[in-house]
Amino acid sequence: MEKVITFGEIMLRLATPGFERFGQSNTLNASFGGGEANVAVSLASYGIDVKFITRLPKNDMAESCIRELRGFGVDVSGIIRGGERLGIYYLETGAVNRASKVIYDRAHSAISDIEIGMINWDKAFEGATWFHWTGITPAISESAMRVCTEAIKIANQKGITVSTDLNYRKNLWNYGKSAKEVMTELVKGCDIILGNEEDAEMALGIRPEGIDVKSGHVDSKAYLSVSQQVMKQFPRCKKVITTLRSSINANHNNWSGVLYDGKKLYEAPSYSITHIVDRVGGGDSFMGGLIYGLLTYKDDMQKTLNFAVAASCLKHTIYGDYNRVTVDEVLKLMEGDTSGRVSR
């Protein structure tokens, strides 16, 4: 049976209700979320054996977080305890022509102070066939970057498939190293690479030509050269996947994706998401769907890509970081049922 390991930070998410701004709201909705944890929740919902590894402090808030993950079916036995605090991010949801805003409060979080040797990766990888990390983790701190590097190297030695979501976050790279400097080294150990046009440029220095996501139209074929450049620069890579998002406004996005396997560029159907409930976690839900597809549909790249795009399309209708959908619901959308009719 396939077993997936994800590694990264999970945070307390504090969001203004509805579309209220930070300065006008008297309350904040509390939940949890973080890139690699979001992927783990998606996979667990699809029936995949998945373990999430992180470092959390010894307090009641962290215990609540662990209980929630366990409730989704995520294996939390690899979570180590220690450090000062749980990281926090504040979210203000945008509307129409006003963009959403995120404020990070994660300095000195438990995982930012993690050190090599704290995680027994040989034990953590027992029975594992897949390891997933994102570009957020090495951006948190230099010590988190070192532990992430350690994990990738050990996974490579064990023959475990390694995937990454490049996930460039400009507000996190502040410890003296650039994203490109760090990520180009870490990505050398990856078999599957996911990103968008900004991620490719800022994390890897590869810029797509003729792309204008602000126009509301994205030509998927323009990403073929980007995918080929990625594979040339990172020979270990077997598949490059690009999410395609064109933003009409904060509530209306067109959403799709492409997958390149070194021979052919696969294109997914495009969904017009006209009333976005919550787009945070959209890329993570795509990654969760992608890993599920690659594990389940094996060599059927078209079905794998279509599943990832449909899964993430549904995530845009769900409040919070997690994609709370089933395989059957994703397949139903893939088959063309977009009616939203009541299921009785």
Phi, psi angle pair for 165, to nearest 5°: -105, 115
pLDDT of 342 over the 90 cut: no
Q: What is the mean pLDDT of residues 248-265?
A: 95
pLDDT band for 48, please (50, 70, 90 cuts): very high
Instruction: Break the chain into its structural domains and give their ranges.
Output: 3-334
pLDDT digits (tens, 9 = 90+) for 218-235: 566 778 989 999 999 999
Q: Among 79, 132, 152, which Cα is nearest to 284's?
A: 132
Calculated CA dihedral for residues 193, 198, 201, 206, nearest 10 degrees = 60
Determine the pLDDT at residue 207. Answer: 80
AA identity, residue 190: C
Determine the pLDDT at residue 219. Answer: 65
Burial degree of 247 (CB within 10 A; 0-12, 13-18, 19+): middle
Burial degree of 250 (CB within 10 A; 0-12, 13-18, 19+): middle
pLDDT digits (tens, 9 = 90+) for 10-28: 999 999 999 999 999 899 9
Determine the pLDDT at residue 248. Answer: 92
Determine the pLDDT at residue 19. Answer: 94
Distances, alpha carbon 34 to alpha carbons 40, 43, 313, in Å? 10, 14, 18
- Number of Cβ atoms within 10 Å of the Cβ of 148: 24
Determine the pLDDT at residue 22. Answer: 95
Distances, alpha carbon 146 to alpha carbons 56, 117, 118, in Å? 18, 10, 12
Question: Which two tokens mark 307?
Answer: 């599943």
- Residue whose tokens read 């808030």: 61
3-state SS class at 273 = strand
pLDDT digits (tens, 9 = 90+) for 157-194: 999 999 999 999 998 999 999 999 999 999 999 999 99
Q: Are 278 and 319 contacting, i.e. CB atoms less than 8 angstroms apart?
A: yes
- CATH homologous superfamily of 3-334: Ribokinase (3.40.1190.20)
Q: What is the mean pLDDT of the chain?
A: 94
Q: Are 257 and 244 contacting, i.e. CB atoms less than 8 angstroms apart?
A: yes
Alpha-carbon distance of 53 to 56, in angstroms, equals 10
pLDDT digits (tens, 9 = 90+) for 71-103: 999 999 999 999 999 999 999 999 999 999 999
Percent of the chain with pLDDT over 90: 89
Alpha-carbon distance of 76 to 97, in angstroms, equals 40
DSSP assignment string, 166-223: ----TTT--SS--HHHHHHHHGGG-SEEEE-HHHHHHHH----SS--GGGT---GGGG
Question: Which two tokens mark 182?
Answer: 């760090």
Determine the pLDDT at residue 213. Answer: 52
